[in-house]
Amino acid sequence: MTAEIIAGPWKKTDQTERELEKAQLLSDCDSIASDCMVSVLHILVEHGMAPEDPDDENLEFVMFLSEVLKSITYASVDIDHPFQDIINLLIKKEVLPNNDKQFYIDYHLLKKTLDSMKEYDNDPEKDPA
């Protein structure tokens, strides 16, 4: 049995080329998110609110914000980030009668989600990995 080969003017794209393009896009997004984070930290420093040492628990907020900023930049170029799922779950949208959109955080769902996460975190039978 022989295969029929169809020749065409299709552009060949190398998998490595696509991977390099995606890597460059990720790098650009991370750079933008980093620039935003530097600006936020600068403002916090100006007002004496920036975490100053590695043991400052407020550093966790900075880390969280950094990931949110990455998720925003990734979403704008159709790259998945896990925080996008959290945002899509907790942020609700209503369309008003005049077609304006109103966004809000579903705090009831947030509380339920946090309670579930705390319960899981305290589960002695959970997988330690």
Which residues of the chain register pLDDT less than 70?
Answer: 1-14, 126-129
CA 105, chain centre distance (Å): 17
Using alpha carbons, select from 81, 60, 87, 73 the residue that is nearest to residue 30: 73
pTM, two decimals, is: 0.74
Query: For residue 62, what pLDDT is reported?
Result: 92
| Helix, strand or coil, per DSSP, at residue 47 | coil
Task: Give domain limits for the chain.
Answer: 16-79, 81-124
For residue 3, what is the DSSP state? P
What pLDDT does 6 receive? 65
Q: Are 69 and 33 in contact (CB under 8 A)?
A: yes
Helix (H, G, I), strand (E, B) or coil at 98: coil
CA distances from 55 to 3, 37, 40, 59 (A): 65, 19, 20, 8
User: Residue 34: what pLDDT?
Assistant: 96
Closest to 92 measured CA to CA, from 84, 82, 104: 104
